[in-house]
Amino acid sequence: MKKTFLLLFTLFISISIFSQSLVLIPKNQEQSLSSLFVNPKIKVHHYSNEFFIATCFAPLKNNMVVLDSSPWEKDISYYIVYTDKNIDKDSYLATISKLSTLLYKNSNFLIVKINESIHGQLTPAKNDGMVRINNNEARLSSYSITQSKRDAIPEPYIETLLAQVSGVNITSTVQHLQDYGTRDAYTSQSVVAQQWISQEFTNLGLVVETMDFTMPGGPASDNVIATLTGTKYPDQYVVIGGHYDSINRNSSNAPGADDNASGTAAVLEIARILSEQELDRSIIFCAFSGEEYGLYGSAAFAQRCANQGMNILGYFNLDMIGYLHVGNTMKTTLIYPQSAQDLANFYTTICATYLPAFVVETGTLSGGDSDHTSFNNNGFMGIYPFENIDAYSPYIHTANDIIGLSYNNEEQAVVYTKASLAAAVTLANRIFPPQNLVAIPQNGSVVLNWDEMVGIDNYNVYRDDAIIASTVENTYTDNDVSNGTEYVYYITAIYSDTQEESDLSNVATVTPTTPIELPFFTDFERGVNYWKSVNGWGIATDQYYSGNHSFTESPNGTYANSLKSTATLSYFNLEGYTSANLSFYTKYEIETNWDFIWFEASSDGKTWTELEEFTGNQTSWLQKGYDLSNYLNKPYVIFRFRFESDKSVTKQGMYIDDFKVYGEKPASNIAPNSLPKLKVYPNPASHNVNIEVENNQNMTIKIFNQLGRLMLKKESIGKTNFSTSKWPAGVYIVEVRTATKIYTEKLIVR
């Protein structure tokens, strides 16, 4: 009885841990950033280039650190509390020990759990660098910024704007904000500062919003959001922001000149200059509050933007831009996660174009964080051009964060402001190429589709680097092609106002061909014809359902870590079919809930629909079947297997055999019980095969090999036979058509 109880108790504990745990997952260089985001058993809340924090609904892996086995209870909050060598961690932990629970610590940060409804706002360890972990699902940016040759050519228009940046204005704003004495988010002075910033934006003629949000310590100052609406693409946004709140844990005197009156002043200066301009895309200017207590303001705004589906091309964060250590060269340490690499590359190029003496170096901020993280966690690219990471202001979050000591270099503040101004305007006015070009192969033609654009006269269609057509539609059919020949396409756009030709769209490579005829069957005994694989799919000889071969993502043994691969079958034309089905046999050994294979379908080559997800173990051969009703009357239908593994543990993978697609076309109405029955015998066969249909029906017989080649076509009534003595051994598909039905049957020839 005791053993039974112990077993049940252990099982209960195991299920509890596996069902939901808040975990920290270290990230290594080999790991794909997307591997955790695509895992349905992982809900990522926060990520950086060093680690993820997530809720895990799967068995835990060795590299995971369990933070809380029962997370997200009511009123419970979690924080990353950044520390450094100057912080006495033991003293800080002793201070908060009666209020909170330490979940994790290392040399750079702590992770802490607290019930703020009882204990109030958690106090930072070093006055800054605290991030609240929200029970929201983080997202990766789906937007990309391709490199353009135009970015490296200075535009006189932008140079004129840069010349208007005033160091006097910036420093005057810093002085004004410093004079409040403190802008701690919970103080009345911060609310007055908020009102002043709002009035400044209003005076510029911008659309201004005061955005309220909740902080655990009670009423606090709000975000101030101002918008300059774009003339061509008002629903596409470039965001520039910085926080205006300040903090000093040891005193009520928190002037916050460098951190972050300087960044706020830069945002206001950029808004002043751009308020008199007309830009293609909308610019949002943000002054956030609550940053010092855990990025509260920016998290609320970025989450709202994500929930509303806003199209934000990029976020430029201005936080601490006015301190330069005496004798040092002016430079910025550019901080960003891997997911914002495109925006970081773009910013670096713009700086080289307009501010060639300004040094931009990539770095990591291990002892703190800023508002760019809120945007990255919500699926938007955000970057943070920070002061020299090795020599930033030592006076921040003290009474000495004032002009002269901490904000000591107006020229640097001007350069940082110019850099974000140039990047924002270039991005807002950028001539983007057509997006998401897809080339669909057809019999003797290629159909091209891409996203529709506004403000253009026409599109130019290029094939093999030569222009072949111009069109005003976002689709084009190229009929001047030959089956079996590979072609390379891309599209450009001609803009109406400038008559400039855009950069190239993405490249699409395609080979026109006839569709695969139904019925289709392959047991992979003759290879992988009709399949196009990326990263390793091939033939296995150690596992098979029939014959001696199968199809797998890892033909050389176990699959690799951090692998992404696909195998895509050529297309079917299901026009005219009243029903269609697909089946295959499979067995698999895939790391449960960490590695996955998805079987997917598409009718346009762009949008894929999951038909089934595979993970775990299937030790015996199992037939899978799928109704293709959603794809009937589609001229282009393709299927693919898509595999993705994480950074550890490898298995044998998935084996696929006897893959079959079959369908029916309309026949005359007849009662189901009067449908004739088909007999194919002997099967397997070595010499002669008999085919028989009851009721002496007229029938048309077609025999196909596994490559789809027609081996025999014959008309008969009721019964017939034919010889297979000269046919190669293998699997064939028998198709028999009567007036009432189309039959398919597998025939094995030995």
Q: Quote the DSSP letter at residue 379.
A: T
3-state secondary structure 55-118: EECCCCCCCCEEEECCCCCCCEEEEEEECCCCCCHHHHHHHHCCCEEEEEECCCEEEEEEEHHH
The torsion angle over the Cα atoms of residues 96, 99, 101 and 105, rounded to 10 degrees, is -20
SS3 content of the chain, % helix, strand, coil (to 5): 20, 35, 45
pLDDT digits (tens, 9 = 90+) for 527-546: 898 999 999 999 999 999 98
Q: What's phi and psi for 694, nearest 5 deg?
A: -65, 160
Q: What's phi and psi for 516, nearest 5 deg?
A: -70, 130
Residue 704 has pLDDT above 90, yes or no: no
3-state secondary structure 511-576: CCCCCECCCEEECCCCCCCCEEEECCCEEECCCCCCCCCEEECCCCCCCCCCCEEEEEEEEECCCC
pLDDT digits (tens, 9 = 90+) for 319-332: 999 999 999 999 99
Tokens matching residue 229 = 């609406």
Cis peptide before 40 (omega within 30 of 0): no
* Best CA proximity match to 360, nearest among 376, 375, 343, 381: 343
Over residues 629-634, mean pLDDT = 95
Query: Which amino acid, 252?
Result: S
Lowest mean pLDDT among 56-60, 648-652, 660-664: 56-60
Q: Which residue has the tokens 């192969």?
A: 441
- In the three-class reduction of DSSP (H, G, I as helix; E, B as strand; rest coil), residue 158 is classed as helix
- Which residues sit opposite 614 in a β-bridge? 597
Residue 355 has pLDDT above 60, yes or no: yes
pLDDT digits (tens, 9 = 90+) for 63-104: 889 999 999 999 899 999 988 777 888 888 998 988 999 999
* pLDDT computed for residue 143 by the predictor: 82
Over residues 425-453, mean pLDDT = 93
Residue 20 has pLDDT above 60, yes or no: yes
* Best CA proximity match to 544, nearest among 503, 587, 514: 587
Contact 705, 530 (CB under 8 A): no
Domain spanning 672-749: CATH 2.60.40.3080: yes
Tell me the C-alpha distance between 246 and 248, whole Å. Answer: 7
Tell me the C-alpha distance between 422 and 96, whole Å. Answer: 44
Fold exhibited by the domain 438-510: Immunoglobulin-like (2.60.40)
Domain spanning 149-429: CATH 3.30.420.40: no
Vertex 154: Cα angle to 381 and 141 (nearest 5) = 10
Sign of CA dihedral 544, 545, 549, 553: negative
- In the three-class reduction of DSSP (H, G, I as helix; E, B as strand; rest coil), residue 262 is classed as helix
* pLDDT computed for residue 667 by the predictor: 59
Per this entry, what is the length of the chain? 750
User: Which residues make Cβ contacts (< 8 Å) with residue 139, sequence separation at least 6?
Assistant: 37, 306, 377, 378, 379
Sign of CA dihedral 233, 237, 240, 243: positive
Query: What's the pLDDT band for 344 if we cut at 50, 70, 90?
Result: very high
* Best CA proximity match to 246, nearest among 374, 418, 93, 395: 395
Over residues 1-11, mean pLDDT = 37
Query: Which amino acid, 489?
Result: Y
The domain ranges of the chain are 2-133, 149-429, 438-510, 520-664, 672-749
Looking only at the bridges linking them, the beta strands covering 311-317 and 382-386 are parallel
Tokens matching residue 484 = 């079996």
Over residues 342-349, mean pLDDT = 96
User: Which residues make Cβ contacts (< 8 Å) with residue 476, sequence separation at least 6?
Assistant: 447, 448, 459, 461, 469
Tokens matching residue 429 = 């006015």
Note the pTM of the prediction, 2 decimals: 0.81
Contact 250, 182 (CB under 8 A): no
Contact 203, 272 (CB under 8 A): no
State percent of the chain over pLDDT 90.
67
Residue 674 has pLDDT above 80, yes or no: no
Tokens matching residue 47 = 């990520």
Tell me the angle at which helices 167-178 and 410-429 cross, rounded to the nearest 10 degrees. Answer: 110
Lowest mean pLDDT among 53-62, 176-185, 439-448, 615-624: 53-62
Vertex 531: Cα angle to 528 and 535 (nearest 5) = 95
pLDDT digits (tens, 9 = 90+) for 477-524: 999 999 999 999 999 999 888 898 988 999 999 999 999 988 899 999
State the Rg of the chain over Cα: 32
* pLDDT computed for residue 12 by the predictor: 39
pLDDT digits (tens, 9 = 90+) for 233-277: 999 999 999 999 999 988 999 999 999 999 999 999 999 999 999
* pLDDT computed for residue 31 by the predictor: 61
* Best CA proximity match to 693, nearest among 671, 716, 714: 716
Residue 15 has pLDDT above 70, yes or no: no
Residue 194 has pLDDT above 70, yes or no: yes
> Is 183 exposed, middle or buried, given 0-12, 13-18 or 19+ CB atoms closer than 10 A?
buried
Name the CATH superfamily for 520-664.
Answer: Galactose-binding domain-like (2.60.120.260)
Query: What's the pLDDT band for 6 if we cut at 50, 70, 90?
Result: very low
Residue 686 has pLDDT above 90, yes or no: no
Q: How many C-beta neighbours within 10 Å does residue 654 have?
A: 28
Q: Which residue has the tokens 């088909």?
A: 678
User: Which residues make Cβ contacts (< 8 Å) with residue 233, sequence separation at least 6?
Assistant: 280, 281, 282, 454
Tell me the C-alpha distance between 371 and 245, whole Å. Answer: 12
Tell me the C-alpha distance between 701 and 690, whole Å. Answer: 11
**CB half-sphere exposure, 328, CA atoms < 13 A:** 19
Residue 678 has pLDDT above 90, yes or no: no
Tell me the angle at which helices 262-274 and 188-203 cross, rounded to the nearest 10 degrees. Answer: 20
* pLDDT computed for residue 14 by the predictor: 40
pLDDT digits (tens, 9 = 90+) for 100-139: 999 999 888 999 999 988 988 888 887 567 899 999 999 9
Tokens matching residue 103 = 């979940």
Q: Which helix (H) or strand (E) is 659 found in, with range? A: strand 653-664
Over residues 598-610, mean pLDDT = 95
Q: Tell me, yes or no, if the two domains 438-510 and 672-749 fold the same way.
A: yes
Query: What's the pLDDT band for 11 if we cut at 50, 70, 90?
Result: very low
Q: What is the DSSP string of 604-672?
A: SSS--EEEEEE-EEEEEEEEEEEE-GGGTT-S-EEEEEEEE--SS----EEEEEEEEEEEE-------G
- Which residues sit opposite 533 in a β-bridge? 567
* pLDDT computed for residue 127 by the predictor: 58
Tokens matching residue 193 = 């500062």
Query: What's the pLDDT band for 32 if we cut at 50, 70, 90?
Result: low
Mean pLDDT score across all residues of the chain: 90
pLDDT digits (tens, 9 = 90+) for 196-244: 999 999 999 999 999 999 999 899 999 999 999 999 899 999 999 999 9
